[in-house]
Amino acid sequence: MGRSKDIASGSKFVDTAGDTMTGTLNTTGLNVTQTGSTTVKVGATGTSGDNDGTLIVNNGGSGDGMLRFDYETNTDRARIGVTTSGQDLKFFTAGNNERVKIDSSGHVTMPNQPVFYGTRATNQSTTGNQDASTPIDFPTSNTIISSTHWNHSNHRFTAPVTGNYMFEWGYATNQIAGQSVYRTFLWKNGSKQAWTQLRNDSNGHTGYNYSSRGALLPLTANDYIHLNSSTDAGYAFYGDSTLRIHLSIFLVG
């Protein structure tokens, strides 16, 4: 019946099991039901809550409703769908790894987003030469949160992907009698970024003095960053359990 109607009407029509077609499918509604009550609807109408032009992926309430993107030999490349754990829209990459989640309140979380926040609770020794300055070491024990992109051996952050990265840092001084200038710079791929200077002039102040700043840097994948320190008189940067040297890094886009 399907094929004879195609011929008579000049249209493409699939009516019975086993019918096939080629070319463009023009339809106001398509409902494909597979074994296990897995349902795909395109432009579904006549069902409560459906609107014209809607694509519905429904697994009959027995599992996740997923839109899956394959390549060539049925290789699972990416998925978008709502899981049985709740009303969350999730995006997955190959291997069914969750990368982005939008919950029912509209909150967006990205569990694999590059991020680092570390502190140092003891003094950081340094040098008197700002052009041969010392990278600040953030011990593993004082790392609050970190993805895998901070190296505690060489004290550097390596960008995993090209993008804009936000850096924010601060430090304390506890200057003895006399004057010194404390400086930090972000160094990119071994070169000082002069415009990122955070300068703290003690001016003979003998108590605690804390300063902080931020900088947004465009980085290419595999660029690396140090936070380097120096003081004109070679004094150490001060750190204790409350006046901690700190650094935060995160990808903003």
Summarize pLDDT for 212-239 with one digit per residue, the tens: 999 999 999 999 999 999 998 888 899 9
Position 19 scores a pLDDT of 65
More confident residue, 182 or 70: 182
- For the ranges 2-11, 51-60, 121-130, 213-222, the maximum mean pLDDT occurs at 213-222
Lowest mean pLDDT among 31-35, 80-84, 138-142: 31-35
Lowest mean pLDDT among 24-33, 94-103, 166-175, 233-242: 24-33
Check: CB of residue 227 under 8 Å from CB of residue 247. Answer: yes
Q: What distance in Å separates the CA atoms of residue 41 and residue 29, rounded to the nearest whole number?
A: 7
pLDDT band at 138 (very low <50, low <70, confident <90, very high): very high
Other C-beta atoms lying within 10 Å of the C-beta of residue 77:
12
Position 44 scores a pLDDT of 47
- Main-chain phi, psi angles of 38, to 5 degrees: -80, 120
Average pLDDT over residues 170-186: 82
Spell out the domains of the chain, with CATH numbers in brackets. Answer: 2-63 (no CATH), 115-251 (2.60.120.40)
pTM for the full model?
Answer: 0.69
Q: What distance in Å separates the CA atoms of residue 182 and residue 229, rounded to the nearest whole number?
A: 8
More confident residue, 13 or 215: 215
